[in-house]
Amino acid sequence: MSTAGWEVRRRNGIWLPQMGWHLDAPHPAPRAVVSHAHFDHVARHDEVICTHPTAKLIAARGARLGPTIRAVDFDEPIRLTPQATATLVPAGHVLGSAQVLIEHSAFGRLLYTGDFKTRPSRTAEPCAAPPADVLIMETTFARPHYRFPTAADTMREVIDFCHDAITAGQIPVLLGYSLGRSQEILHHLHDAKLPIMLHPRVEAVTRAYEALGCTFPPYTSLAPLLAAGHTIIAPTQALKGELSALPQPRRLAVLSGWALDESYRFRVGADAAFPLSDHADYPELLEYVDRVNPACVYTVHGFAAEFAADLRRRGREAWALGQNNQLELGF
């Protein structure tokens, strides 16, 4: 597919053949920009561009990039070809997460969001929305019923959930991704006066966040036999491991944008589900497109085809990248 000269393909992530670069390739590629440190965006490429925090967080999780890593600051242009530069700008998704702005002397500006959110975050840099001619955006929560409450409102309910569990002689366990979500949860517990234990994978990332300048309330390492009276933050995968050996019954809450779907907590096997997400919700996605104001939008992930159709109904050129687009014909 091409607009204003750009060729954009969905192959091993996003592939820009004219640039010779992949964006967020999940499998090894000769050259790739890695937008952030979630593992579904990380592979061992020959040459990698990413932000300094992303490189440090990936290393803290024991994964390898490289052999050639060009770690850059936000807003620092890097030359990709004689005609084109790439600049990483904040995506607001997790610490160090970047959007990629490619500026070409003949084709104009192409912006790839990676995973992003525009709502304020306690631990990620504020999301930028630079103008672009072509926008490639993630559409994970791109259906109208995905409208997230503020994190402060959600976390007030989560803190009540924890106090209620402890009063009932149970151990509250908050389940979220070990990178990003867990640190947002922990930061919101600053004034909750809850003793906190972190699962080892959450603790490793939290220490890397601290080394990058984030501050958190006091916590200790997960010690299952000493966990009574504590609130535990852990990834979902820990349920069958360390969390099966607690001295009191556990009360599980999962924190995710999918909590807006009634069935989600049952699928996870949790007692409660609270909507806390690192992604943009539906109104944010629409507003973001208006701010960037591109001539053409390509959507990827989640409800990509539905959202592209929504944008077309609003008068924009928009296509789900690499999918069949059901065209609305006026018969």
List residues binding Zn ion (CB under 5 A): 38, 115
Please work out, in degrees rounded to the nearest 5, the angle formed at the alpha carbon of residue 154 by the alpha carbons of 150 and 157. Answer: 150
CA distance 102 to 112: 8
Q: Which two tokens stand for residue 6?
A: 């750009």
CA distance 148 to 275: 7
CA distance 277 to 323: 26
Look at residue 317 and give its three-state secondary structure.
Answer: strand
Nearer to Zn ion, 199 or 279 (CB): 279
Q: How far is the CB of 161 from Zn ion (least distance, A)?
A: 25
Query: What SS3 string covers 225-237?
Result: HHCCCCEEEECHH
Q: How far is the CB of 59 from Zn ion (least distance, A)?
A: 17
How much is the CA Rg of the chain, to the nearest whole Å? 21
Q: How far is the CB of 24 from Zn ion (least distance, A)?
A: 9
Q: How far is the CB of 110 from Zn ion (least distance, A)?
A: 20
Nearer to Zn ion, 62 or 218 (CB): 62
Q: Parallel, antiparallel, or unpaired: how do β-strands 250-255 and 231-234 relate?
A: unpaired
Nearer to Zn ion, 87 or 277 (CB): 277
Nearer to Zn ion, 41 or 45 (CB): 41
- What is the Cα 218 distance to its own chain's centre? 25
Q: How far is the CB of 93 from Zn ion (least distance, A)?
A: 6
Nearer to Zn ion, 37 or 227 (CB): 37
Nearer to Zn ion, 3 or 97 (CB): 97
- Cα dihedral 39, 55, 102, 137 in deg (nearest 10): 30
Q: How far is the CB of 165 from Zn ion (least distance, A)?
A: 29
Q: How far is the CB of 302 from Zn ion (least distance, A)?
A: 12
Nearer to Zn ion, 123 or 231 (CB): 123
Nearer to Zn ion, 34 or 309 (CB): 34
Q: How far is the CB of 156 from Zn ion (least distance, A)?
A: 25
113-136 in b/e form (b: 16+ CB < 10 A) is: bbbbbbbebbbbbebbbeebbbbb
Question: Please, which residues bridge with residue 21 across strands?
Answer: 16
CB 200 within 8 A of CB 165: no
